C-alpha cells in the first residue's frame, strides 16, 4: 500500500496515517474510537492528527451541535489517498487469493483477527 501511495504522490502519509485515513473513509466510527484502536498515547494521536491536517489529508471543523467539539474529516486529498489505498488493498487481496486460495485466506484472516484480540477479552469473531 505504501508503494501505491508513493507512486500516486502520497508519500508523506505518516506511519499510522494509513489506518486513520482508511478508517475515516470506510466506517462511521468516531475518530476517538479509531485512535483508541491504534493504541497510542493521546499525545501521539494528537501529533498524528495534526500532521495529517498539516499535510492536507484531514480538516477540522467545529461541531454545529456542540461548539466545544471538533469534527475531523477527510479532505479531497484524503479521499483520493483512501481511494489509492482501497485499490491497492483489492490488488493485494486478489494476488493473495490467486496464490493461496480462498480457504487459506479465510483461515489466515480468522487467525489474524484472533491474534489482534488477544488480551482484550474478545475472541474477534
**Mean pLDDT across 75-99:** 96
**Mean pLDDT across 16-37:** 88
pLDDT digits (tens, 9 = 90+) for 93-102: 999 999 999 9
> Domain residue spans in the chain?
2-85
Residue bearing the bigger pLDDT, 66 or 8: 8
Q: Are 72 and 59 in contact (CB under 8 A)?
A: yes
CA-nearest of 49, 67, 46, 45 to 58 is 49
* pLDDT for residue 70: 80
* pLDDT for residue 68: 83
CA 76 – CA 67 distance, rounded (Å) = 24
Q: Are 79 and 24 in contact (CB under 8 A)?
A: no
* pLDDT for residue 24: 93
Split at pLDDT 50, 70, 90, the class of 111 is: very high
Split at pLDDT 50, 70, 90, the class of 4 is: very high
* pLDDT for residue 53: 96
- Could you confirm whether domain 2-85 is CATH 3.90.850.10? no
Amino acid at each position: 500500500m505504501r508503494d501505491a501511495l508513493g507512486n500516486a504522490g502520497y508519500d508523506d502519509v505518516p506511519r499510522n496515517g494509513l489506518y486513520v485515513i482508511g478508517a475515516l473513509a470506510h466506517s462511521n466510527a468516531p475518530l476517538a474510537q479509531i485512535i483508541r484502536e491504534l493504541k497510542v498515547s493521546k499525545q501521539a494521536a494528537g501529533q498524528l492528527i495534526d500532521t495529517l491536517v498539516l499535510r492536507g489529508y484531514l480538516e477540522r471543523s467545529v461541531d454545529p451541535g456542540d461548539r466545544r467539539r471538533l469534527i475531523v474529516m477527510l479532505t479531497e486529498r484524503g479521499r483520493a489517498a483512501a481511494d489509492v489505498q482501497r485499490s491497492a488493498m483489492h490488488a493485494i487481496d486478489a494476488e493473495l487469493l490467486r496464490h493461496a486460495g480462498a480457504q487459506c485466506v479465510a483461515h489466515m484472516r480468522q487467525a489474524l483477527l484472533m491474534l489482534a484480540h488477544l488480551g482484550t477479552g474478545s475472541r474477534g469473531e
